[in-house]
Structure 1
């Protein structure tokens, strides 16, 4: 009977989506003691943790490199949208100085995000290490971003706590505040004439929130690769598990 079921599973594998394959793997492991896949539940989860760890390191590594944010349109920090009128006003400066200040500022906030992102991987990895068997199989059987959602739930508060002082140091290191003061001073000088309100924004919170959001976008991309691309299954355990459905 087991052989018949296994044959049906193998014959049907080519019709599975990536998510279906993950679900089938999880169901097979849950319903066996290792005789079908040659792996125990613990080994399957261990393989998943290892794969996610590699994905996390890849994603965080990309973000923390120079231009990791600035030259990646997916996660690049834009000029703070709540004060976009500042950018629009300065870019109309006929001397070109306003536009130059905006460009320097946008580079600065992305550099701050890149510096802070160096601290992300250990926080993500701690969350992965704390993953239970139940968590692991929920991820395997979940949506294409189930692991990302798990990490978002487990790490966001810690990331904010860790990132905030680092972002502040980065703001100081890359002189973002000085750049911001130049931008706002130039803009606020015009409000005296126009009668508009002066601007002020919490740069630390803005950069921290955007940096974390960008990291999760990269993590989600890495998760999708693991689910859909056999090449991204980076350890022997996952390769062995998936081979039962090849």
Structure 2
């Protein structure tokens, strides 16, 4: 009986979804493929704008919402070094971490584009009728793991290129030398920076999605205007 109820519920929900889709298509005059195209276009615009923003100089460091701070698990190191007059060493390390994130951000573009190209019509309707960051949530689910694996080697290289690893070594060496009776500080700087870089990138993508959903002026092509006009 329970199995029968579950099957019945699936059919009911499927029927409601299909009815909702049919109603939307009837009211809007759009085809299913146009709706899917509109969602893909929204994600392409949002992700491209986001990658462009965070990959420029100060894309992370200059944005208080995205700036990657000192690793919280070693906050005592920052406090200790600032109290010891070595705040400049900490500041250089934080700047280097953010520069590495900015340098690596373009790695996201092809991964985003691949995920967007695979969106189905069912996905498109679900995203369209979801919350204001439903498309971003979809991308997080579909791409975060791949992005981490792609970002991390680039972050590691970028940390070297911008001098962040050297700056971080200066931070930890200074702390360890001044605190000989405390355990040596070690942290996975590349992993930490990669996670925070992705958090900031998805925050930015979510902001771009909300603009497209809520602000007609952010709908920069005809298919965006046609699809999202039905949501106003």
TM bucket, shorter chain: 0.7 to 0.9
149-158 or 39-48: bigger deviation: 39-48
Distance of aligned partners of 1:198 and 1:245 in 2 relative to their CA distance in 1, 3 Å threshold:
closer
Instruction: Tell me the equivalent position of 2:143.
Output: 155
Q: CA deviation at 1:126?
A: 1.1
Q: CA deviation at 1:242?
A: 4.6
Distance of aligned partners of 1:91 and 1:148 in 2 relative to their CA distance in 1, 3 Å threshold:
same
Matched, 1:203 2:165: no
Q: d(CA) in 1 for partners of 2:214 and 2:46?
A: 13
Could you state the TM-score of these two structures normalised by the residue count of structure 1? 0.82
Matched, 1:70 2:56: no
What's the RMSD between the two structures over aligned residues? 2.0
Q: CA deviation at 1:29?
A: 7.9
Matched, 1:59 2:50: yes
Aligned ranges for residues 132-211 of structure 1 at < 5 Å? 132-192=120-180, 195-211=181-197
Q: CA deviation at 1:34?
A: 5.6
**Tell me, what secondary structure is at the counterpart of 1:77?**
coil
Aligned partner (choices 187, 208, 211) of residue 222 of structure 1: 208
Q: d(CA) in 2 for partners of 1:85 and 1:235?
A: 50
**Tell me, what secondary structure is at the counterpart of 1:72?**
coil
Q: d(CA) in 2 for partners of 1:147 and 1:89?
A: 43
How many residues are aligned here? 216
Could you state the TM-score of these two structures normalised by the residue count of structure 2? 0.87
Instruction: Tell me the equivalent position of 1:40.
Output: 31
Aligned partner (choices 233, 236, 241) of residue 219 of structure 2: 233
Q: CA deviation at 1:147?
A: 0.7
Q: CA deviation at 1:42?
A: 0.6
Structure 2, unpaired ranges of 5+: 1-16
Q: d(CA) in 2 for partners of 1:60 and 1:82?
A: 28
- CA contact 1:33–1:40 (8 Å) conserved in 2: no
Distance of aligned partners of 1:73 and 1:245 in 2 relative to their CA distance in 1, 3 Å threshold:
closer
Instruction: Tell me the equivalent position of 1:30.
Output: 21
Q: d(CA) in 1 for partners of 2:25 and 2:138?
A: 26
Q: d(CA) in 2 for partners of 1:213 and 1:177?
A: 21
Aligned partner (choices 107, 112, 121) of residue 95 of structure 2: 107
Q: CA deviation at 1:108?
A: 0.3
Instruction: Tell me the equivalent position of 2:81.
Output: 90
Structure 1, unpaired ranges of 5+: 1-25
Higher relative contact order (CA 8 A, sep 6+): 1
- CA contact 2:213–2:231 (8 Å) conserved in 1: no
- CA contact 2:159–2:165 (8 Å) conserved in 1: yes
